[in-house]
Amino acid sequence: MLLAGCAKPDFTEAVTPEVATSLALLSQQRGDTVSLDITLGGGAPAALGSFTGEVVQPASWRFVQCDAQQPQALLACKAHDSTVRVAAAWAGGTHAGALVRLTYVRAGTALPSDVWTMSVSEAHSVRGQSLADSLQVRAQSVAGVVR
């Protein structure tokens, strides 16, 4: 029995990487309307309780509304020029999937090079722990689809 504790570790075993939690910006276009979903993906080490971020839109689009996509959300969206600031919180936390939907309408000539970008300034678990180091923002840019 004593020898079992002295066994050499097997370094050939694959280590399963931890799945990172991510926020991504996904888009859908119907005619002159674009919906952007801020979506939670990956394996969250702790339930996401809140986040604050910004979405920057191209000049040819105008923000019209935001809606929570998961129940019991406290949500605020504030448009200023080409930026929409989003603050959302869930007392019971969230699950993977769409969290917030931002809706835009065409306000000018859209170009194939139109791009939305997102940044996140804070994210916390339901227990108030910062998730800034473990949260990946996968929304460097979302190209606008022009028909």
- Token pair in block for residue 42: 């990956």
- Token pair in block for residue 2: 């004593």
pLDDT at 132: 81
pLDDT digits (tens, 9 = 90+) for 19-56: 457 888 888 888 899 999 999 987 655 578 999 999 99
**Dihedral angle over CA of 124, 127, 129, 135, nearest 10:** -40
pLDDT digits (tens, 9 = 90+) for 42-95: 765 557 899 999 999 999 999 999 999 999 999 999 999 999 999 999 988 988
pLDDT at 46: 59
Which residues does residue 98 pair with via DSSP β-bridges, in sequence order? 39
Give the integer Cα–Cα distance in Å for 94 and 13: 34
Q: Between 144 and 99, whose confidence is greater?
A: 99
Q: Which of the four pLDDT bands, split at 50, 70 and 90, describes residue 16?
A: very low
Give the integer Cα–Cα distance in Å for 93 and 72: 9
47, with CB counted inside 10 A (0-12, 13-18, 19+), is: middle
pLDDT at 91: 87
pLDDT at 136: 84
Whether 7 shows a pLDDT value over 70: the answer reads no
* Cβ neighbours for 80, distance < 8 A, ≥ 6 positions apart: none
Write out the DSSP string of 111-143: -TT-EEEEEEEEEEETTS-B-TTTEEEE-S-EE
